[in-house]
Structure 1
Amino acid sequence: MPQRHLHQATRDAARLARPSGTGLDGGAVRQRMVARLRAEGKFDERVLAAMATVPRHEFVDSALAAQAYEDTALPIGHGQTISKPSVVAHMLGLLMGGEGARQRGSLGRVLEIGTGCGYQAAVIALLARQLTSIERLQGLHEKAQLNLQRVPLPRAPRLIWGDGRAGHSASGPFDSIIAAAGGEDIPRAWMDQLAPGGRLVAPTAATGRGQVLVVLDHVVDKGVSHWVRSEHEAVLFVPLKSGVV
């Protein structure tokens, strides 16, 4: 019977639909998260406005949706985590503080190393003119693709399954580069793909300090390029690895 087929299709759609999380779709919980961050008085208001728009619960497993707006890292599978909201806000604030971003009022063309579940990419997409995001783990790359399809964005990020250490020269040069994995050094490929006036933010090993957030600015003085490095607080990110899996 056609009517029976229609009922069956409705039940199948309900079974396959991703749970939205109790009380999370209205945005009030998300706004409270942003209000807590704003009360700390140290985060860029443009970043907070973007975070107030992106539904973080859409990027975590349904079983963890109730924790999506707490200031905590959560597992996203494949041995990886989604960063704490305060860490996302801080790193993007550092990126927005670059000379070029201040002049443009946006992050311009961005390279993100480590797409993960896609949450930070969604926030960046609201602050950038163009975003290329690379993930070395195919399972996470595919998860991010699905997650980002559920979130309306003004410009869809370009998602790449590839080796983040190599950057993505075909999409560069970049005004901003941000990494969600930490290595012993800043890969030369990232520096080469950072446009003059651009800024890079990445967790990196520092002598005697363990892993810290490093800011690298590409400065051009009288036609000569040089990079100005500053070190910030200690952090703990997953290791930066080469290759794809």
Structure 2
Amino acid sequence: MGTALVTGATAGLGLEFAWQLATARHDLVLVARDTDRLEQVAAQIRAAAGVGVEALPADLSVPDDVARVAARLAVVGDQPGDPRPVGLLVNNAGFATAQHFVDGDLDVELRAVDVMVRAVVELSHAAVGQMQARGRGAILNVASVAALTAGGTYAAAKAYVRTFTEGLAVELAGTGVTATVLCPGFTRTEFHQRAGVSMSSVPDAAWLDAPFVVASALADVRRGIVISTPSGRYKAASALLRVLPRSAVRAIGHYR
């Protein structure tokens, strides 16, 4: 079934991507910062799903680490002893900055840009080179409905990812390689808890479950859909955000 590389693979949507892809008999390359947790997840998936799992520890805010992941993605697999080429790249790694920009820690803001923008660009570039050479493959970049809001650095990074992926999809048309951007709404994972962001004011009806979001995204990748927005309510919310005056969008603000 091919090999998939997933970044941010030990928690949240990344972990769900890893399990669903393994269940579908994909071999995996899992990327995350926490080496111990990464090795634990890799061992669990190998034992439960019986697929090949490479653990590739990397901090995607560190250029040398990103370069190591890019080198793995660039493998075409045409030489004896080469690892199998990656047929699906899931750029999932990211985090909420949970601070205001003006009085916040600049290093945190820059790290967010490195992880959610720079790494996405570099890894996508490495992947499409070998995918085009083989005439098949897919890139799935995780953005957010927040890309359509005025929610600070996180929203800005996700807006970049959304537009970048659309442009990439245009370039790749007819090559056998596709690009999809996932734009979920609020999803039940440890994402907000890890960032220290209270979500108590968000109504239950606004939440999506991670298995549904991931299954929807993978189904859209198989169909070659460019923008994947799971659930009718978030498709409607996205449509509204696109037509509202930007002054109204700014007035809505962003969650804390």
TM-score, length of structure 2 as denominator length: 0.28
Higher relative contact order (CA 8 A, sep 6+): 2
Q: Which has the higher strand share?
A: 1
Q: Which has the higher helix share?
A: 2
Larger Cα-atom Rg? 1
TM-score, length of structure 1 as denominator length: 0.29
